[in-house]
């Protein structure tokens, strides 16, 4: 036996013979809805506007006041909430797409330059300064390596002289007939070891200063040079794209591409000009700092070595005081933080 399915009275909208909605039923529906709403929410807060199928007005549903004072209006259909939150996955995908396109353009530019097919922007004066800087860096690294070797060998010699002086002093006490001879040699070796430690302090100070110049100051400038070279490749890549588009036809399809290419070209041109200016400034300051540092260190190195081999202990100590070089006392460790308090 067939059973009649229950129907919701709110879902039944009777229609008159001319196709219009029955207004009496509509008013009854609104009245029932008003009684069914909670006491704190009236029809003044919830407005529902109905219209006939032939009406030119658009239905608007307003449910209270959304947060931030925003209201969502929909044209005929379900209510759609505005979503201003961007999808993180789409943003990452867009970044990957731009990075891939930029990498492709730069790789193509580099390959075309190596094959001799592409043009390259060159600042002759700046490029010459960069080449000189790289060549000097290699030479300074060689000096640094040799100075470190000298320091190691001098340390071994000073250590041997100390051991030899101790051995002579021991024999001076045990050999009465050669007491004076062993004593002279013991004093000489100990004096040489002391002067050697002073010279070693000067050489290590020279090494530390040159190492800072080479591996920090010059390296920082070369990092800026690397960024400048990357900006130059990007600038030439987008310049080549713009030139190719300008050589082609100009119509409704190509004009937007040309405008976009012109915009990207201008962005990378400004970046290239800025990096070129930064490199010029850093090279200027580096040259001034390099001359100042190396002049002091070379004078120190020469004076210390000359005084050591001349046997002038006072002059050797005076040289270290002049350049504010502090020697580490053997067997004495740096004070702990408790002792410094």
Comparing 198 with 110, which gets the higher pLDDT?
198
C-alpha triplet 50, 52, 54: angle, nearest 5°: 140
What was the pLDDT predicted at 82? 46
Task: Locate all alpha helices (DSSP H) within the chain, ordered by sequence.
Answer: 23-36, 88-114, 124-174, 179-212, 219-247, 254-309, 313-322, 337-340
318 touches 202 (CB < 8 A): no
Per-residue pLDDT averaged across 193-219, rounded? 92
What was the pLDDT predicted at 86? 65
Q: Helix or strand or coil: residue 242?
A: helix
22 touches 15 (CB < 8 A): yes
What was the pLDDT predicted at 240? 85
Per-residue pLDDT averaged across 219-242, rounded? 90
Closest by CA position to 184, among listed 198, 197, 165: 165
Query: What is the rounded distance in angstroms from the CA atom of residue 130 to the CA atom of residue 42?
Result: 78
Comparing 7 with 174, which gets the higher pLDDT?
174
> Facing residues of 46 across strands?
63
pTM: 0.62
What was the pLDDT predicted at 220? 93
Res. 61: pLDDT tops 90: no
Comparing 340 with 218, which gets the higher pLDDT?
218
What was the pLDDT predicted at 31? 52
What was the pLDDT predicted at 203? 93
Q: Which of 105-109, 189-193, 230-234 has the lowest mean pLDDT?
A: 105-109
Res. 160: pLDDT tops 90: yes
Res. 28: pLDDT tops 90: no
324 touches 219 (CB < 8 A): no
Res. 146: pLDDT tops 50: yes
Q: How far is CA 53 from the centre of its chain?
A: 63
pLDDT band at 179 (very low <50, low <70, confident <90, very high): confident
């Amino acid at each position: 036996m067939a059973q009649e399915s229950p129907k919701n009275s709110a879902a039944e909208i009777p229609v008159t013979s001319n196709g219009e909605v029955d207004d009496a039923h509509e008013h009854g529906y609104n009245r029932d809805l008003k009684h069914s709403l909670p006491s704190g929410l009236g029809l003044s807060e919830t407005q529902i506007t109905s219209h006939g199928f032939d009406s030119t007005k658009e239905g608007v549903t307003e449910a209270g006041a959304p947060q931030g004072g925003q209201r969502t209006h929909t044209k005929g259909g379900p209510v759609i909430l505005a979503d201003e939150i961007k999808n993180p996955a789409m943003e990452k995908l867009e970044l990957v797409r731009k990075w891939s396109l930029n990498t492709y353009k730069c790789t193509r530019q580099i390959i075309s330059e190596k094959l001799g097919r592409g043009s390259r922007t060159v600042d002759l004066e700046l490029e010459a300064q960069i080449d000189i800087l790289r060549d000097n860096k290699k030479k300074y690294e060689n000096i640094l390596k040799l100075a470190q070797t000298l320091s190691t060998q001098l340390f071994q010699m000073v250590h041997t002289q100390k051991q030899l002086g101790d051995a002579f002093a021991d024999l001076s006490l045990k050999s009465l007939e050669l007491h004076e001879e062993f004593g002279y040699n013991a004093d000489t070796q100990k004096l040489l070891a002391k002067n050697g430690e002073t010279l070693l302090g000067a050489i290590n100070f020279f090494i530390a200063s040159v190492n800072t110049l080479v591996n920090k100051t010059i390296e920082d400038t070369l990092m800026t040079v690397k960024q400048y070279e990357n900006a130059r490749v990007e600038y030439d890549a987008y310049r080549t794209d713009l030139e190719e588009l300008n050589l082609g036809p100009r119509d409704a399809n190509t004009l937007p591409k040309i405008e976009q290419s012109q915009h990207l070209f201008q962005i990378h041109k400004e970046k290239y000009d800025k990096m070129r200016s930064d490199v010029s400034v850093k090279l200027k300051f580096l040259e001034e700092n390099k001359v100042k540092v190396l002049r002091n260190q070379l004078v120190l190195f020469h004076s210390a070595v000359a005084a050591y081999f001349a046997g002038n202990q006072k002059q050797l100590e005076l040289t270290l005081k002049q350049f504010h070089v502090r020697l580490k006392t053997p067997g004495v460790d740096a004070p702990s933080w408790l002792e410094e308090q």
